[in-house]
Structure 1
């Protein structure tokens, strides 16, 4: 094997690794978003209770989904040493679902390049992008809010995706995962 062929093989391997890493990065899961009152001492919060959300949303919450979300929140907060209380808790926790329409801006790109070997290098590069479909996706967001003395002190939200025909187990799994993603950022650091 000559040195030119070895360099060419190395270049192909490195290019393939970079391509795979970029592809995996593009497919990463959604990231939850939070906002909070910077003046709140979250270390002083030891208990919570659920309260009904007063938000008017475009998506009704059925009893089964509501119970799954409550169970997931209670489990996550118990893991953070917050006790559920039926009266006089430090914070009131509410949650709601909302939907939004998002255009699918997916595309596929192709790039070509080349060069000549030897002492003199020249190259040419070409690239183009092809749109993939023009559909509109519906995203469902789960928002969890913490109130103290009637004042919002913490809010987190993330996309909730369990599909229209998901089994009860798949719905529970998706809700647990989304709630865990949101509450990993509670308390804020």
Structure 2
């Protein structure tokens, strides 16, 4: 019975793990911010990509939910900056094979490693910059990844979920 209780407890803790990590400037007074705009160069590209447009739409929706009004850059209290940080990882795409011969305590064996492939993924990072201080006052980073194999609909859903979860932790201290 004790093992069952421990297993349920571990599963409950795992289910509570967040998909985003946030950090903030503890001296910032978040109640003083009323307006916002996208920082110039948000997304770090000269052209807004398809995923970039999805991210911007999600951020606009969440800022509106926070009762922040979008204005021109020179009038904003906060500048929203975001980027998709690309990472490469290796993914196993099969199983290794092996065989062996032997008798008693002695034998020979051969094995092959499982096939792998490189997968490019991107994690979303959103930062809010105080325009008076010209410094980041709030930052959120996703632990979930976009990858090249996802359909446009799955990418939009993932971006919407991640950005909503990020802004559920804004303003800080209300979680």
Provide the alpha-carbon RMSD of the alignment: 3.3
State how many pairs are aligned: 147
Correspondent of 1:158 among 142, 148, 165: 142
Q: Which has the larger radius of gyration?
A: 1
The superposition leaves residues 143-180 of structure 1 with CA deviations (integer Å, 9 ceiling, x where unpaired) of 11111222222111113434322222111110011111
Q: Is the Cα–Cα contact under 8 Å of residues 80 and 128 in structure 2 kept in the other structure?
A: yes
Q: Is the Cα–Cα contact under 8 Å of residues 32 and 159 in structure 1 kept in the other structure?
A: yes
Partner of 1:19: 7
User: Gapped runs of 5+ residues in structure 2?
Assistant: 92-113
The superposition leaves residues 81-139 of structure 1 with CA deviations (integer Å, 9 ceiling, x where unpaired) of 111112411111110011345689xxxxxxxxxxxxxxxxxxxxxxxxxxxx8978765
The superposition leaves residues 58-95 of structure 1 with CA deviations (integer Å, 9 ceiling, x where unpaired) of xx986111110000011011111111112411111110
Cα distance change, pair 134–42 in 1 and its aligned pair in 2 (3 A): farther
Is structure 2 residue 170 aligned with structure 1 residue 186?
yes
Correspondent of 2:71 among 85, 109, 114: 85
**Could you list the runs of 4 or more consecutive aligned residues of structure 1 that deviate by over 4 angstroms after TM superposition?**
23-30, 53-57, 101-104, 133-139
- Cα distance in 2 between the residues matched to 1:15 and 1:101: 38
The normalised TM-score by structure 2 is 0.67
Q: Is the Cα–Cα contact under 8 Å of residues 139 and 160 in structure 1 kept in the other structure?
A: no
Cα distance change, pair 93–181 in 1 and its aligned pair in 2 (3 A): same
Partner of 1:34: 22
User: Gapped runs of 5+ residues in structure 1?
Assistant: 1-10, 105-132
